[in-house]
Chains A and B, each alone.
Chain A
Amino acid sequence: MNDETVVEARDLVVRYGDFTAVDRVTFTVGRGEIFGFLGANGAGKTTTIRVLCGVLPPTEGRVRVAGTGYEDGENAIKAKVGYMSQKFTLYNDLTVKENLDFIASLRKLDAAYYAKRRQEILELISFKKGLGAFVHELSGGTKQQVSLAAALLHDPEVVFLDEPTAGVTPAGRERFWALIRRVAESGKTVFVTTHYMDEAEQCGRIALMREGKLVAMDSPAGLKAAAFPEQVFEFEPIEELSFSRMTAFQNHEAFAFFEPYGHRFHAAAANAEAWRHWRPELEKTFRIRTIAPSLEDVFIRMVEDRP
């Protein structure tokens, strides 16, 4: 990874009236990084992305994106970044070519450059349907890939992807992430939010937000080590558990953490002594094995404020 800083936020604050959406957030992202931005709904992720995309000047703090900032004029940042969200992406009733043409004209791309760049981009996403295909004919996954192509058309240094894979099939999601890796390898910085923790595992670094504040920032492995200094176990119930029994285990004194994961549970012991004491008893109900914690466990432990 390159050491060059491409995105920098320093003491970023955004207030809407008396509501503070983003509260003193500071971080930097380097060139070619895949930077995951996680948090509960409403934690301030989208607001932060809007600031970094150049569409929402912050209330306080400083932003530098690809060597430019709000002080360099209204559209300085916008010219250097690409943005894609799950919500508004492409016009369904236009063809792929018409959509791309439209974006190229909005970006005022030079005709020759646009023709060359479009070819490159479509090769990058290995788009096989014709340019004349209507967007509504594409599957959800392909649509998202074309949206990403549209966001990359003007060769931005940074792309922001806001929940790009919501509602996309597992296979579609995997193809999309392969594409994200290729984009990052080509030297672009990728800034992505997601609710799928298996996707977050594929990020180089992850920032975790809660109620407008940054609560942690590290590599997936680093986050896991920080959130779970203790050993984590997988509990597989030998027979199906009723809800009331499950709740009883969640409040059991043996555990500091006990959360459902598929039909299994991920658990961490409260302390060594309790664990030694309870383990034989618990093995009557569960098959227990040691595992590495998942990012979902990390998320729950770090973001959830259990009293």
Chain B
Amino acid sequence: MSEPISISVAGVKKSFRAFQALHGVSAEFEAGRMHGIIGPEGSGKTTLLRIVLGLMRPDEGSISYREGGRDISFADLRPKISYMPQTQSLYPDLSVDEHLEFFRDLYGIAPPDYKRKREELLEVARLAEFVRRPAGQLSGGMYKKLGLICALLRSPRVMILDEPTTGVDPISRRELWTLLYRLLDEHILILATTAYMDEAERCSKVHLFEAGLLLASGEPRTLLQEQKARSFDELFLRRAALGGP
């Protein structure tokens, strides 16, 4: 029924006035894996995600989307993508339940499916007792979890997350990752940027960005062995010491 989706990016360049955010990036996001996009701020991670999501057009280069080996257009893919932006993007005056109902209607989810999904997600995210609280009064961790469960309300084939765990306490961070890990068994393509290097290790493939360039891609363990580093923290610290900012 649902074939795995993969995305590849070829030679993508993007500038904002004088600032070049991406200097010709090519990357493969294979189906059914969790891809971690890591790098310092301003390295072009968010811009890449927005281009993949069709929210921005690249100046040069192309993005291709494939479903079970067939090329598909972005318009075909759009209904299958869920996205969680980095910036706060929920409505502070709407409660948890009102958010869920709003996205239910936007995604056109049938009532029985919705009922099941809602309970399941609220349970995993441990938000069940806060359904009446407005989003503006949720703590940072709860807010991010609400954003994620809104995105997961329908079953996406592709999940794109921009810094889902920034400013979140360790426990909420684990809960967010638990929500994501569940998706992997359903062979969903996940793209996530993160500033936490231990989270990078949890991805099945990492893509290291710096200053608009893709430095390396690969399985975290292999990559660390190649670079002779014990952790990604160490790797980035070493690069910074070599002549970073």
Measuring CB to CB, which residues of chain A are less than 8 angstroms from any residue of chain B? 39-43, 86, 139-141, 163, 166-172, 174, 195-198, 240, 242-244, 246, 259-264, 296, 299-300, 303-304
A299 engages B171 (CB within 8 Å): yes
Residue among B40, B42, B170 making CB contact with A296, cutoff 8 Å: B170
Q: Within the complex, what minimum Cβ distance (angstroms) separates A105 from chain B?
A: 31
Alpha-carbon distance between A296 and B170 when the two chains are bound, in angstroms: 7
Partner of A263, one of B42, B169, B220: B220
Q: Nearest residue in B to A86 (C-beta to C-beta)?
A: B167
Q: 26 A-B Cβ contacts within 8 A?
A: A39-B169, A40-B141, A41-B139, A41-B169, A42-B142, A43-B169, A139-B245, A140-B41, A141-B245, A167-B163, A167-B166, A168-B41, A170-B233, A172-B40, A195-B168, A197-B170, A198-B233, A242-B185, A243-B181, A260-B174, A260-B177, A262-B202, A262-B220, A299-B171, A303-B169, A303-B170
* Closest A residue by C-beta to B201: A262
Given the known interface contacts A170-B237, A262-B201, the answer about A40 and B41 at a Cβ–Cβ threshold of 8 Å is no
Contact A169 B236, beta carbon cutoff 8 Å: yes
- Beyond the given A166-B166, A243-B181, A303-B170, could you list 5 further A-B residue pairs with CB under 8 A, ordered by the A residue number? A42-B140, A163-B167, A168-B41, A261-B198, A300-B171
Residue contact A303 to B171, C-beta cutoff 8 Å: yes
A195 touching B41 in the complex, CB below 8 Å, given contacts A42-B139, A170-B237: no
Structural contact, B221 and A169, CB atoms closer than 8 A: no
* Residue pair A244, B185 in contact (C-beta under 8 Å): yes
Q: How far is the CB of B47 from chain A (nearest CB, A)?
A: 17
Chain A residues, Cβ within 8 Å of B166: 166-167
Q: In the complex, what's the smallest C-beta–C-beta distance from B87 to chain A, in angstroms?
A: 12
Closest-by-CB residue of B relative to A259 is: B174
Whole-angstrom distance between the alpha carbons of A262 and B200 in the complex?
7
The answer to whether B217 has its CB under 8 Å from any CB of chain A is no
